[in-house]
């Protein structure tokens, strides 16, 4: 069979003699001592995963799915729940200047260590690495919850970010181990939908904890302990150790440790720190011509060049193997993921500003107003996963999703203070549906086009691209927003620009006079519209990237694939 032909799968097979020729597509009966709830399925030549895999069925599969859902929900909540807690945290520690690091410390370590975890999952048993990652995450959460100072809190966030990198990467890899290729789109959709759910409930949950005298903001992090315990217990008892065998286990422990690419990870972390500082400072805190800004950009360029040089020089021993990233679907999938996540993060961040600063509603109401955006993402993700499982085609959903999303982003660019509810509601639904349709496809695509041993690293590359694209895209759009806002505010007489910006878009009527209020709200509208223009551009480029994806189909033998 040509390896580029569609993949076929089969769930049941008649018993055959073990001495049959190797070329025969059938295989011997499964051993009687297989672990409970586990069945052997075959994958014929041409599938890019194992020739023979053991998959879960029944209760073990249900519980493992629940465990992965809890794990991803936990790390997603850790990202969204903190938003409403930050004002109380800064008040407790008197640390307004540290706010940027509360999010960045978590994000930087998560980004920097994702490629490293890709290597770790290649060298060591999947089950134990996943459990250790959860312990690291819980340790960081405990430090955040009990932090006596802002510095301790930031360190806790950084530690939690390392654990989060291992948990999410591991969850995506576990999916490829527990179900056959045909069922993976649906399971991937279910797991990925946890991010949409977290984006909806996280801020509200954080607000409840923060305003509770008994729980306080610290419970935003204590809550991770019971969630992590549920996840770990299910993994311990229902994930067979045999499914965690490392694809590359023929090296000594010393060789494995040296092969983790920790030096490369540190270089990547340094490059990201330089980039984030430049994007945060440029045009806002310092002019772009300031030596601190362009010095960071130069540092980013030099460190990134060094990182790429090391990866090319090391070849198969590299943290990011050139052979994998140069594969057509992997490269375009990474590009698509970075652009798409950057576009979506821009919308998610600036929609609340639109409702609070432009429409003049309170934070609680704005939380309700953005629900169509987050809820639609979750629903579209689940529906798309189900349809792909049924049809077998997945690339067309990248085309359709990115086209719909870009249309929605372009319509959001047009909203103003007087836009009626029906219109902005529809625009949110359109953008959310487009994002939910397409965002999961690249992760599934790498599991189709790569071999079993390369799936962990390929999956990590997509995840890294999403996280990096989201953070860089948000930094760019936030820079555009702030510069546009300042530019328009300078045209308004008799206002304190710094006071308006410090208000953060809320309670503007207490900062400016009634005569100036409408002009200030329009200035925010101008800045937000330009941010949405960035989202539209990123979505459009993502659509172009999706056109080049390899067109594959996964179909069963019942559909005539024999």
Terminus-to-terminus CA distance in the chain, angstroms? 10
pLDDT averaged over every residue in the chain: 81
The predicted structure's pLDDT at residue 386: 87
Using the predicted structure, report yes or no on whether residue 15 has a pLDDT greater than 50.
no
In whole angstroms, give the CA distance from residue 338 to residue 464: 8
Smallest CA-to-CA distance from 83 within 472, 536, 504, 528 is with: 504
| Residues 24-52 pLDDT 10s | 434 434 333 333 344 443 333 334 444 44
Mean pLDDT of 246-264: 73
Report residue 409 as tokens.
Answer: 């982003």
Q: Which fold has domain 1-13+37-255?
A: Growth Hormone; Chain: A; (1.20.1250)
Q: What is the three-class DSSP state of 494? A: coil
Bridge partner list, 201 = none
Bridge partners, 492 (sequence order): none
What is the H or E stretch that residue 145 is in?
A: helix 126-145
Torsion of CA 338, 341, 342, 347, to 10 degrees: 170
Residues 533-553: pLDDT tens digits?
A: 999 999 999 999 999 999 887
Q: How many CA atoms lie within 13 A of 146 on its CB side?
A: 7
Dist. CA 198–CA 182, nearest whole Å: 27
Q: pLDDT > 90: what percent of the chain? A: 31
Give the tens place of pLDDT for each residue, 330-378. 999 999 999 999 999 888 878 888 888 888 887 667 778 888 888 898 8
All structural domains of the chain with their residue ranges: 1-13+37-255, 320-555
Residue 1 has pLDDT above 50, yes or no: no
Does domain 320-555 fall into CATH 1.20.1250.20?
yes
Structure pTM?
A: 0.74
Asked if domains 1-13+37-255 and 320-555 share a fold, the reply is yes
Q: Quick check: 7 pLDDT over 50?
A: no
CA distance 158 to 237: 30
Tally helices (H) and strands (E) across the chain: 21, 3
| Reported confidence tier of residue 329, pLDDT bands at 50, 70, 90 | very high
Model pLDDT, residue 514? 85
pLDDT above 60: residue 94? yes
Rounded-to-integer distance, Cα 80 and Cα 75, Å: 9
Beta bridge partners, 10, equal 42
Are the C-beta atoms of residues 483 and 283 closer than 8 Å to each other?
Answer: yes
pLDDT tens digits, residue range 192-244? Answer: 888 878 877 887 788 788 878 888 889 999 999 999 999 999 999 988 877 76
């Amino acid at each position: 069979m040509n390896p580029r032909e569609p993949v076929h799968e089969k769930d049941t097979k008649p018993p055959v003699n073990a001495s049959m020729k190797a070329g025969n597509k059938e295989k011997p009966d499964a051993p009687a001592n297989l672990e409970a709830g586990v069945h052997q399925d075959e994958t014929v030549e041409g599938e890019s995963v194992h020739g023979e895999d053991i998959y879960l069925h029944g209760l073990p599969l249900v519980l493992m799915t629940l465990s992965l859902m809890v794990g991803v929900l936990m790390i997603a909540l850790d990202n969204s729940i903190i938003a409403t807690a930050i004002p109380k945290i800064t008040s407790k520690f008197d640390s307004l200047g540290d706010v940027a690091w509360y999010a960045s410390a978590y994000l930087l370590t998560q980004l920097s260590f994702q490629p490293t975890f890709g290597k770790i999952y290649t060298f060591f048993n999947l089950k134990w690495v996943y459990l250790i990652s959860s312990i690291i995450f819980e340790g960081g959460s405990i430090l955040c919850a009990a932090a006596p100072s802002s510095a301790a809190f930031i360190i806790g966030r950084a530690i939690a970010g390392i654990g989060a990198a291992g948990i999410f990467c591991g969850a995506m890899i576990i999916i490829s181990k527990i179900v056959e290729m045909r069922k993976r789109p649906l399971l991937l959709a279910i797991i990925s939908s946890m991010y949409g759910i977290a984006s909806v409930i996280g801020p509200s949950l954080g607000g409840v904890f923060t305003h509770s005298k008994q729980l306080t903001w610290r419970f935003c992090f204590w809550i991770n302990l019971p969630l992590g315990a549920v996840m770990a217990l299910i993994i311990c008892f229902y994930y067979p150790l045999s499914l965690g065998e490392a694809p590359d286990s023929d090296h000594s422990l010393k060789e494995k440790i040296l092969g983790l690419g920790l030096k490369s990870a540190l270089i990547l972390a340094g490059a990201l720190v330089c980039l984030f500082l430049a994007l945060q400072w440029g045009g806002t805190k310092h002019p772009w011509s300031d030596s601190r800004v362009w010095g960071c950009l130069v540092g980013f360029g030099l460190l990134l060049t060094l990182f790429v040089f090391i990866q090319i020089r090391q070849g198969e021993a590299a943290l990011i193997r050139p052979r994998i990233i140069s594969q057509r679907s992997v490269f375009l999938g990474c590009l698509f993921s970075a652009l798409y996540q950057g576009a979506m993060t821009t919308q998610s961040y600036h929609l609340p500003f639109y409702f609070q600063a432009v429409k003049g509603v309170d934070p609680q109401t704005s939380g309700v107003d953005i629900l169509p955006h987050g809820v639609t993402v979750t629903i579209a993700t689940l529906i798309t996963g189900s349809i792909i499982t049924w049809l077998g085609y997945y690339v067309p959903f990248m085309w359709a999703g990115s086209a719909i999303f870009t249309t929605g982003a372009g319509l959001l660019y047009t909203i103003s203070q007087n836009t009626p509810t029906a219109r902005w509601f529809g625009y949110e639904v359109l953008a959310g549906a487009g994002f939910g349709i397409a965002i999961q496809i690249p992760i599934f695509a790498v599991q189709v086009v790569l071999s079993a041993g390369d799936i962990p690293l390929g999956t990590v590359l997509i995840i890294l691209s999403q996280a990096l694209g989201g953070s860089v895209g948000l930094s760019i759009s936030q820079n555009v927003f702030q510069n546009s806002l300042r530019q328009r505010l300078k045209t308004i007489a008799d206002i304190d620009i710094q006071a308006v910006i410090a208000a953060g878009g809320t309670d503007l009527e207490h900062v400016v006079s009634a005569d100036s209020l409408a002009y200030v709200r329009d200035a925010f509208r101008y800045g937000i519209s330009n941010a949405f223009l960035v989202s539209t551009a990123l979505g459009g480029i993502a659509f172009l990237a999706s056109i080049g994806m390899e067109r594959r189909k996964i179909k069963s033998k019942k559909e005539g694939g024999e």
